[in-house]
């Protein structure tokens, strides 16, 4: 009986995704649009040729006559962008928070670097579909929970299954760094802040696990240890270590952990107080996937606008930064990713540099910048056309989106409801 109740609940809250687009077989020419390349450059009157899933040509279209194409798209008075990238996302891992059977974002235990989130990724999730109409076309699917949460992978958001979706498999391991303090109370009645007496012990446990994994990988074991095997690649740079941490002291300790263990590539995820450690971050080539921009300060006596200013502080300091959306209702809110970048622009970052926070910068951090993140000849034709500024919620209206040259559907449960009730009220207005 319980089985049927769960199925019934899921059917009430989920919505089947549109059929994935077929492989591109016809050449496409996009003309007249203002192309925001994602690397800080803009072509006012662009011409873009798309063939076999790649950008075959992109340049100024003034007085230029291209060769014949199969499909022509007039983007005059519109804007063209590379597909936005949602880093540190749990899209496709949870459908309904209140339905445990649809929640697969974390595993039991503390040391789980071997847990591969991609295996649980559900391409049929209605929340995946809801992100695309705002230009979010790629995402890093990351695990949650424990100390070592597991291994993330990068996907494109129009696929039949996770194997089809993968852009980069097993890109990095996620580590939740302990906090040096704890809070009492709850959000409605916050209490005081107390030191975490087990902080040093918890760091020692992380170091011991890393030491054991390294010893295992340097030996010829007779019995396999899968969690230890998953740690392979952190020292060589084949995998990136994503350390989820916000505090100033904790960020320093995390960087010292990187130095001590010769970890090649490391990114701070969250990094609320990273601006206080800019020289150390820069010296150790540590990038930051910044905490959600639309949020409140962590402490009541801080500048209420600090979350908005954080990106500029780090950008001015020469730190490679991207944006991410972890937090309450994160899967539903990932569609707001472009507007986080817009907020960063409103608080001091140049508009084209703000765009890089969810395109080129994020692609570099995730290790997919050879094919994604910018509009350049030879790269994947993963892009979209908007009637207005895509970083402004008042004007962003995506009309065409391509993933690897495939023209994808922009329909979702929300758009169907919009069309349904629009028709209803228009009919009533005529009565």
139: CATH: 3.20.20.140
**Could you give the number of structural domains in the chain?**
2
Same-domain check for residues 88 and 48: no
Tokens 């004007």 identify what position? 395
DSSP 8-state assignment for residue 106: B
Residue 13 belongs to some domain of the structure:
no
| Beta strands in 190-294, from DSSP E residues, in sequence order | 190-195, 240-245, 266-270, 287-290
Q: Are residues 202 and 57 in the same domain?
A: no
Q: pLDDT value at position 11? A: 42
pLDDT at site 413: 79
**298 plus 314 within the same structural domain:** yes
Tokens 């622009």, residue located = 345
Same domain, 138 and 41: no
Residue entry with tokens 């907020």: 343
Helix (H) or strand (E) segment spanning residue 166: strand 166-176
Whether 179 maps to a domain, the answer reads yes
Fill in the DSSP letter of residue 183. E
What is the residue range of 27's domain?
19-80
Q: Are residues 194 and 76 in the same domain?
A: no
Residue 187's pLDDT is 64
Does 421 fall in a domain?
no
In the listed set 32, 49, 80, which residue is the last one of a domain according to the structure? Answer: 80
- The model's pTM: 0.91
Domain termination residue (choose one: 372, 394, 419)? 372
405 part of a folded domain: no
Q: Is residue 186 domain-shared with residue 262, that is, in the same domain?
A: yes
Cβ atoms of 268 and 306 closer than 8 Å:
no
Are residues 180 and 34 located together in one domain of the fold?
no
Instruction: Let me know if residue 249 belongs to a domain.
Output: yes
Residue 194 shares a structural domain with residue 341 = yes
Residue with tokens 């696929």: 159
Tell me: do 54 and 178 sit in the same domain: no
| 388 in any annotated domain | no
Instruction: Give 368-381 pLDDT, tens digit per residue.
Output: 999 999 999 999 99
What residues does 183 pair with on adjacent strands?
A: 193
Query: Is residue 393 included in any domain, yes or no?
Result: no
Is 76 in the same domain as 91? Answer: no
Q: Is there a domain that residue 188 lies in?
A: yes
CATH number at residue 29: 2.30.40.10
Could you tell me which residues come within 8 angstroms of residue 38 by beta carbon, excluding any fewer than 6 positions away?
81, 82, 355, 356, 359, 360, 373, 374, 375
Q: 358 and 311 in one domain? A: yes
Same domain, 90 and 73: no
Output the DSSP codes for 365-394. Answer: HHT-TTTSSS--TTSB--EEEESS-TT-TT
Question: How far apart are the C-alpha atoms of 288 and 280, rounded to whole Å?
Answer: 12
How do residues 53-99 score in pLDDT, each as one tens digit? 999 999 998 888 889 999 999 999 999 999 999 999 999 998 888 78
pLDDT at 357: 98
Positions of the chain with pLDDT lower than 50, given as ranges: 1-15
Distance CA(228)–CA(247), nearest Å, equals: 28
pLDDT score of 1: 36
Burial of 180 (0-12, 13-18, 19+ CB in 10 A): middle
CA 111/CA 121 separation, integer angstroms = 21
């Amino acid at each position: 009986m319980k089985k049927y109740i769960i199925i019934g609940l899921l059917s009430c809250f989920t919505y089947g995704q549109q059929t994935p687009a077929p492989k591109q077989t016809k050449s496409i020419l996009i003309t007249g649009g203002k192309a925001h390349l994602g690397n800080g450059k803009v072509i006012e009157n662009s011409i873009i040729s798309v063939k076999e899933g790649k950008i075959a040509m992109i340049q100024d279209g003034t007085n230029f006559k291209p060769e014949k194409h199969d499909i022509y798209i007039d983007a005059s008075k519109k804007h063209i962008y590379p597909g936005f990238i949602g880093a540190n996302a749990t899209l496709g891992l949870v459908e309904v928070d209140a339905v445990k059977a649809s929640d697969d974002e974390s595993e039991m235990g503390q040391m789980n670097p071997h847990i591969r989130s991609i295996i649980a990724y559900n391409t049929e999730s209605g929340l995946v579909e809801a992100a695309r109409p705002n230009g979010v076309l790629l995402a890093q699917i990351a695990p949650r929970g424990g100390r070592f949460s597991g291994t993330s992978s990068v996907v494109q958001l129009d696929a039949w299954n996770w194997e089809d979706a993968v852009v980069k498999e097993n890109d990095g391991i996620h580590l939740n760094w302990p906090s040096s303090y704890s809070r009492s109370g709850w959000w409605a009645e916050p209490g005081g802040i107390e030191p975490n007496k087990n902080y040093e012990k918890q760091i020692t446990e992380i170091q011991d696990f890393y030491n054991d994994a390294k010893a295992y990988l340097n030996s010829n074991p007779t019995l396999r240890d899968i969690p230890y095997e998953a740690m392979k690649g952190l020292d060589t740079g084949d995998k990136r270590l994503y350390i989820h941490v916000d505090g100033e002291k904790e960020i320093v300790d995390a960087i010292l952990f990187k130095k001590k263990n010769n970890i090649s590539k490391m990114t701070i995820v969250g990094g609320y107080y990273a601006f206080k450690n800019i020289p150390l971050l820069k010296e150790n080539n540590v990038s930051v996937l910044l905490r959600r921009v639309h949020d409140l300060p962590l402490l009541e006596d801080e500048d209420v606008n600090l979350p908005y200013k954080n990106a500029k502080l780090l950008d001015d300091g020469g730190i490679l930064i991207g944006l991410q959306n972890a937090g309450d209702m994160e899967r539903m809110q990932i569609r707001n990713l472009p507007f986080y970048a817009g907020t960063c622009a409103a608080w001091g970052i140049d508009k084209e540099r703000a765009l890089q926070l969810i395109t080129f910068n994020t692609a570099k951090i995730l290790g997919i910048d050879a094919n994604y993140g910018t509009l350049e000849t030879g790269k994947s034709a993963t892009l979209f056309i908007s009637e207005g500024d895509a970083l402004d919620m008042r004007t962003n209206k995506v009309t065409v989106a391509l993933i690897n040259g495939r023209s994808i559907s922009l329909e979702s449960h929300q758009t169907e409801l919009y069309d349904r009730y629009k028709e209803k009220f228009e009919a009533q207005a005529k009565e």
